[in-house]
Amino acid sequence: MGYIEMEHSFKRYQVGESEIIANNDVSFTIEKGELVVILGASGAGKSTVLNILGGMDTNSSGKVVIDQQDISHYDRKQLTAYRRNDVGFVFQFYNLVANLTALENVELAVEIVEDASDPATVLTDVGLAHRMHNFPAQLSGGEQQRVAIARAVAKNPKILLCDEPTGALDYHTGKQVLQILQDMSRKNGTTVVIVTHNVALAPIADRVIHMHDAKVKAIETNSIPRDIAELEW
Amino acid sequence: MMQMKKTVWKDIRQSFRKSWGRFFSIMILMALGSFALVGLYVTGPNMRTTGTTYLNARNVADLTIIGEYGLDASDQAALATLTDVNALEYLYVKDVSIAQTHTSVRLFSQPKTISTPELIAGRLPRQSGEIAIDASQQADYPLGSIIHIDEKADQSGTKVIAKSEFEVVGYIQSGDFLSLATRGPSTTGTGQLDSFAIIHPSDFKSDVFMMAKLRFDSLIELNPYSDAYLEQLQIEKDHVYAVLAGQPEIRLHELKTTYNQKITTGQQAINEGEQELDNAAKQLEEAATLLKEGQQALVANEQLLLSAEAELEQAKQELRENEVLLQNTDTELQRTDEILREQQALLAGKQQEYEQGVQTLQGKQAEYNQAVADIDQAQQTITEQYKQLATAKQDYTRGISELEATIFALEQALGDEALDDAARQQLLAQLEQVNQQLKAVTSAYTLFLQQTYEPGVIQLDAAQKQLDQQTQQLQTVPYEIEAANNQLAEANLQIASGQAQLLAGKAAFADGYAHYESGVQQITTAKQQLITATTEYQMGKEQLADGQSELIEQTSLYEEQRKKYEQELPTATKLLAESREELATAREMVEQLVAPTYRVDTRRELLGGDGYKTYSSISNIVDSLAMIFPVFLYFVAALVTLTTMTRFVDEERLNSGTLKALGYDDYDIIKKFCVYGFVASLIGTILGIILGHTLMPTIVYQAYRSEFTVPAIEWHFHLGITLSALALAIMSSVIPAYIVAKRELREQPATLLLPKAPESGDKIFLEHFPGIWRRLTFTQKVTCRNIFRYKKRMYMTIFGVAGAAALLFTGFSVQHSVSEIKSRQFDTITHYDLIVAENPLASMPEQQQLSEQLRTPAVKNYAPVYYEEVTRVAGAHNDTQAITLIVPEEPENFAQYITLKARKTQQPLELMDEGAIISERLADLLHVEIGETLPFVDQNGEQRQVEITAISEMYIGHFIFLSPSGYEKLYRADYESNAYFTTLIDSSSENTKVAASQFMQLSAVAGVVQNTSIMSLIDTIVTSLNQIMAILIFVAMLLGAVILYNLTNINVSERIRELSTIKVLGFFDPEVTRYIYREATILTIFGIVGGWIIGMGLHSYILVVVPPDEVMFNPARWIGAYIIPVLVIAIISLVLKFFVNRRLIHIDMLEALKSVD
Ligand SMILES: Nc1ncnc2c1ncn2[C@@H]1O[C@H](COP(=O)(O)OP(=O)(O)OP(=O)(O)O)[C@@H](O)[C@H]1O
Ligand SMILES: [Mg+2]
């Protein structure tokens, strides 16, 4: 039994007359502590999968078992509690609260969970000790994304979900961010799921899920995943 | 290009549809602002226009002059010298009360031109004994009913009203009495005027008029509520005073002269009275003599009557005898008459028989004649028939012989031989034929002979024989007739002799009868004579009886008169003595007479003019509110609209960028926002303008209508304020829209296409104090940051909420301030029920009556005071303020009647030996303080001034209080009380009226003042103000709701991304709500506190500007005014929170987070 299991998950959208199937019979398993990359072209249904996994969206049918809990039948409140305690989310566009400093942005998330890490420490961990009291507008994109990661990580979530975390970043910065994520998985044993369309990232993952046209096309596992630093693209 | 414009319009329509909430918000804000502005602005002017229309229609007097001693010819002559007079009319006036009630009525003679009464029903009096009473009495006195009035005689005992009963013929209202409940003081009833009426001038018997009413040319065209009118009025008033200046002395002199004359006549009357008394004694003596004489005459008459009776008896006897004689004659005559009648009947029978005989005889003669004639005719017939038969026989025989002759001739011819055969033949034939004819005729003849001729002859012979027989019979008849004729002649002879006999008998009877008749005549005459004699005798007897009873009567009458005289003598003597005394007092009174005063009153000052004053007060109250509230409302509304429009422009940023990128010019894009703002605010403003013009005046009218006779408030369109409202609407919606949009469009289209950079965070002011900042919890810090981050919204929230809260605070505070007046005044300050003013001219016994009345059990307490109405011009209208100056005889006990105390400290105040305590409102109006001096005019017109030692809490009326020694120092006169403060055991208004009227009935009482006299007017002001405040409270609540709705709405939509983020982070729904509500709550609290502060200012301002001059609103603030706005706003927030919650739950966090940050 995997740590995360998606079984025959469907996501359908009713747009006017026609039905759009964003996820078509998606099934996969992820083990605890793995770094997983979901690959696929634009519109393949990656974000949909991630949102369902993160409790931000519900699937139309199928099971979503996280740590032996099937969240597919959760109600709003349960989903909120799930997001609050078990999930860390990193978006392509950071989504920091502009009115709060980097530290406060992390504190905002930490405030509502027990057993959270110290925000300052986490920020130091992501290399932002010196920018802690800066507002998002005063930070670069990479720094902002690192604050976002810090905010997600500080809660000590069971799973860390990242949707195109490097999408808005340049190569080096992207690499830095990915490094942090890989470290999270390796050092802290956090299960990390990264969605990307950058095929070059596949080697760093323990598991790569290929999606195409709303379906899982293939799942491959790397017995020896590559280190980010070694990777060039 | 056209295509593009179309798109713009479509876009505009779309923007309406997408945001009804925002559209309605702007609309409602503008509606509220313009409603309050227009409504408060137009109501006062409308009230005054209505009032002016009414006053003009009734041609209400500008000035009313009342002379203390009336207005006589010399006064009139003086007033006639006034120039500029448009109309001048003199009236009779008299206060009376309705019998059996406490209702006082002021009776007027009917004014023709000035202050004309308004007829409500029925008609005006046309003749003496008719009355048209004011419409408020309609229920009690229906048309046709009779009003009985009681008139109190004046000091000299004269009454003015000629009648005491009046028939109600109509109901009126008057422009002089605008108030239905408060009509000023009266000299009757309870001391307050309840009603007024018009009666026919002939029902006043007064030498002088009591009142003059004046209208001036210079005032006719002026608006009576304008300053120009008031200024000009003062000028005219001064003229009147100047013209009347010499009159008091003239009148005094005249009056003294007339009184002295009256005294002289009085003396004469007394003298006459004494004379009369003497005369009466003399008359009694004469009557006694007359009675004795009468007695004697009566006895003589009795004797005469007795002899007459005997004579009468004798005459009766004679008559009876004569009557018997006559009776016998009568019987005889009757028998003769019977016999005569029998004879006549017999004779008549014979005559009849004779006439029958004659008739029968004539019949027989006629019969005979007929028979002779018949026989003659029968003879003729028979003869004729014989002749006919003979003729027929001859005819036959002749025919036969002719035929035989022919035969003969023929045979002769045949015999002629010369005859040829043919002719022979022919002749033969002829012969043959004739033979045959002869044969036929011969046989016919034979037949005739046998059948007709022979029987005819036999028949005729028989008839001849019969006829002969008849002729023979007839020959005896003439003899018979002859015999009968002889018989008849004899009978006729007999009848003639009978008749002659009868005639002789009849003549004899007539003779006897005439004799009898004359006998009857004689007796009848004798009888009549007897009757006459008897009647005469009877009459004589009655006369005697009458004479006797009259004598008895006369005697008792005389006895009575004598007794009466003896009884009345002491009273009459006493009365005379009294009259002498009265005359003495009258002489004294003349000595005491003072010069009369003349009241010259404007409409505001007129007795009963409180209504006029209050009516304009209410209109001024609305005016003064119009200066405050709308400004405030508009400020808040504009602020909120500005923020709302800014947000609108922000939301449409992308859209605008796209349009601009497509090549639309800035104008098109700006137009959209301007049109949106314009339409929303225009609809709202028009709504507000309409409601302001109609609803507000109506509500205010409803509040005061029951108090006044003024007709329903007129609705007028006020262009100026309408345009102002529209201008303000544009200023607060279109112009902000333009500015915001313009500023945004200054950016490049490319930039516009990107979302607006969120307001970046910054260190807030508080963070510079790490000591405090660090101590805040995280959420507190975040809240603080957010509050200061959106400054515009912060201001809008604070100001908006403050505005709504301030309005609520003011509304409730004012309501409280006015509602407390009554209770504070009457529960804590004034305790007396009546002020009873003494009549300075009252006599000792009259004064005695008053002190008895004061000691009745109904009166709880009383205290003597000196009481005077003094005046001082003050206030915004330069009105003469009536000030009551009171000097209690015992200042120590005065607190039982009026509690003098400082309002703020509630410490009792003491009257000093010098200086005065004055009421608070008076001090406010005059801006005087403790230690300063207060100048005033006393009732004799003298200027005085007094130092103010303290200011006393007082809500209704102006007062100056002095100690007796203070009075003596100020007036340089000895203190003497002239009135009583009284408290009653039962101080209900009904009982107070009863007590007041009891006092009023005493001659020693000049007037009674009830402490409730202006209460109903105060009530009207309170009600009106309460209504207006209720509207403002409602407006404020709506304003609050709209502001908070807008704020929350903007707050949510502006921060949707931030909210999505925290939702993703796992904030529960209530936490999310709290996240944004926390700031809103804090800002709202700031707003409320601000509202309190502003509200206090507004309230203070209203307390100064709004109340009528003689009324003070309670300036104390009420805790409810602080609490209620909080509750109202809290409730609105809670309701909104419910909606916001729902909206937050439905936020699609994924959608919000998808886009570029
Ligand atoms: N709310 C929605 N309504 C209708 N269709 C949707 C909705 N969300 C996603 N889709 C559709 O579902 C499909 C999968 O979308 P998804 O966002 O998962 O793609 P993706 O693999 O993440 O693509 P990308 O790499 O571009 O982010 C797409 O075709 C998209 O159009
Ligand atoms: Mg995606």
Give residue-wise pLDDT tens across range B390-426. Answer: 898 898 889 888 888 888 888 888 877 777 888 888 8
The closest of B1016, B1108, B1012 to B706, measured between CA atoms, is B1016
CA–CA dist B1058, B76 (Å, integer) = 90
Residue B14 CB contacts under 8 Å (≥ 6 apart), including other chains? none
Indicate whether B45 and B144 sit together in one domain. Answer: no
Of B973, B992, B1010, the one marking the end of a domain is B1010
Q: Which residue of B has its CA nearest to A163?
A: B1154
Residue B242 has pLDDT above 60, yes or no: yes
The domain in which residue A113 lies consists of 32-60+74-230
Q: Where does a domain end: B730, B756, B782? A: B756
Confidence of residue B893 (pLDDT cuts 50, 70, 90): confident
* Pair B849, B924 in one domain: yes
B43 within a domain of the structure (yes/no): yes
- B1041: burial class by Cβ within 10 Å (0-12, 13-18, 19+)? buried
B342 domain residue, yes or no: no
Q: Check whether residue B872 and residue B906 sit in a common domain.
A: yes
Q: Would strands B879-888 and B859-874 be described as parallel, antiparallel, or unpaired?
A: antiparallel
pLDDT digits (tens, 9 = 90+) for A212-227: 888 888 888 888 888 8
pLDDT at B193 over 80: yes
With residue B94 as reference, give the H or E element that holds it: strand B93-98
Residues of chain B found within 8 Å of residue A108, distances taken between Cβ atoms = 778, 782, 1062, 1065
Q: How many CA atoms lie within 13 A of B874 on its CB side?
A: 22
Q: Considering B248, B283, B318, which residue would you say is the last residue of a domain? A: B248
Q: Which residues of A98-128 are buried (b: 16+ CB within 10 A; e: fewer)?
A: bbbbbbbbbbbbbbbbeebbebbebbebbeb
Ligand 1 atom with minimal separation from the A11 CA: 12
Q: What region does B915 belong to: left with phi over 0, alpha with psi -120 to 50, or beta? A: left
The pLDDT, as a whole number, for residue B2 is 47
> Shortest CB distance from B758 goes to which of A85, A98, A109?
A98
Q: Is residue A14 part of a domain?
A: no
Q: Is A57 touching B (CB cutoff 8 A)?
A: yes
Q: Span B608-634, mean pLDDT?
A: 84
What's phi and psi for A11, nearest 5 deg?
-135, 120
Same domain (yes/no): B972, B940: yes
Which domain covers residue B1037, as residue numbers? 790-827+1012-1157
> Is B760's Cβ below 8 Å from some Cβ in A?
yes
Alpha carbon distance B74, B244 (integer Å) = 10
Whether B902 and B1004 map to the same domain: the answer is yes
Q: Is the Cβ atom of A167 under 6 angstroms away from ligand 1?
A: no
Task: List CB contacts (< 8 A) between B1061 and chain A.
Answer: 95-97
In short, whether A52's Cβ falls inside 6 Å of ligand 1 is: no
Q: How far apart are CA A142 and CA A78, in angstroms?
A: 33
Q: Which residues of A180-212 are buried (b: 16+ CB within 10 A; e: fewer)?
A: bbbbbbeeeebbbbbbbbeeebbbbbbbbbbbe
Atom index in ligand 1 nearest the CA of residue A46 equals 21
Residues B999 and B1059 in one domain: no
pLDDT band at B768 (very low <50, low <70, confident <90, very high): confident
Give pLDDT tens digits for B703-760.
888 888 888 888 999 999 999 999 988 888 888 888 888 888 777 666 666 666 655 5
Q: Considering chain B, what is the average pLDDT of its residues?
A: 85
For ligand 1, say whether the CB of A22 is within 6 Å of any of its atoms.
Answer: yes
Question: In this complex, is the C-beta atom of A111 within 8 Å of any C-beta atom belonging to chain B?
Answer: yes
Question: Ligand 1, atom 10: nearest CA belongs to which residue?
Answer: A22
CB atoms within 10 A of CB B173: 22
- Closest approach of B760 to chain A, Cα-based (Å): 6
Residue pair B64/B111 in contact (Cβ under 8 Å)? The answer is no
Q: Any idea what the CATH number is for the domain that residue A109 is in?
A: 3.40.50.300
In total, how many domains does chain A have?
A: 1
Do B44 and B103 fall within a single domain?
no
Question: Does residue B1047 share a domain with residue B924?
Answer: no
CA distance B491 to B381: 45
Classify residue B924: in a domain, yes or no.
Answer: yes
Mean pLDDT throughout B60-78? 89
Residue A15 Cα to ligand 1 midpoint, Å, equals 12
The count of residues in chain A is 233
Give the gap in angstroms from C-alpha B1066 to the nearest C-alpha of chain A: 4
Q: CA-to-CA distance for B759 and B779, rounded, in angstroms?
A: 19
Partner residue facing A84 (CB), from B760, B1057, B1066? B1066
Q: What is the pLDDT of residue B125?
A: 92
Angle between helices B20-58 and B629-651 (to 10 degrees): 160
Is residue B410 in a domain?
no
Q: Which of residues 1054-1083 of B touch A (CB under 8 A)?
A: 1057-1058, 1060-1069, 1071
B402 within some domain = no
The reply to whether A67 falls in a domain is no
Residues B861 and B966 in one domain: yes
Does the CB atom of residue A40 touch ligand 1 within 6 A?
yes
Please compute the mean of the pLDDT values over residues B1129-1144 and round it to a whole number. Answer: 88
Q: A212 at the B interface (CB within 8 A)? A: no
Residue matched to tokens 């027929």: B392
Which residue type sits at B649?
V
Put simply, whether A100 touches B (Cβ < 8 Å) is yes
- By C-alpha distance, which of B755, B723, B733 is closest to B676? B733
Q: How many domains does chain B have?
A: 4
Identify the band that residue B494 occupies on the pLDDT scale cut at 50, 70 and 90: confident
Q: Say if the Cβ atoms of A137 and B757 lie within 8 Å.
A: yes
| pLDDT of B155 above 70 | no
- Asked if B111 and B205 sit in the same domain, the reply is yes
CB contact under 8 A, B1069 and A87: no
N-to-C CA span, chain A:
35
Chain A residues with beta carbon closer than 8 angstroms to that of B758: 98
CB contact under 8 Å between A57 and B1061, yes or no, is: no
Place of tokens 């239905």: B180
First to last CA, chain B: 35
Q: Is residue B812 part of a domain?
A: yes
Residues B1035 and B950 in one domain: no
Q: For residue B214, what pLDDT band results from cuts at 50, 70 and 90?
A: very high
Residues of A in contact with B1141 (CB under 8 A): none
Report which of residues B655 and B23 the model is more confident about: B23
Which of B238-247, B542-551, B604-613 is modeled with the greatest confidence?
B238-247
Q: Among A57, A82, A83, whose Cβ lies nearest the Cβ of B1150?
A: A57
Q: For residue B761, list chain A residues with Cβ-Cβ distance below 8 A.
A: 98-101, 135-137
Distance A222 CA to ligand 1 centre (A): 28
β-sheet with A87-90: strand ranges across:
A87-90, A159-163, A191-196, A35-40, A207-212, A215-221
Q: At which residue do the structure tokens 């006729």 appear?
A: B492
Q: How much helix, strand and coil, in percent to the nearest 5, is found in chain B?
A: 65, 15, 20
d(CA B813, CA B1029): 9
- B891 and B751 within one domain: no
Asked if residue A14 has its Cβ within 6 Å of ligand 1, the reply is no
Q: For ligand 1, atom 5, name the residue with the nearest CA.
A: A13
Q: Confirm whether B553 is domain-assigned.
A: no
What is the pLDDT averaged over residues A59-80? Answer: 89
For residue A39, give the ligand nearest its CA: 1
Q: Which ligand is nearest to the CA of A211?
A: 1
| DSSP-assigned states of every residue in B331-364 | HHHHHHHHHHHHHHHHHHHHHHHHHHHHHHHHHH
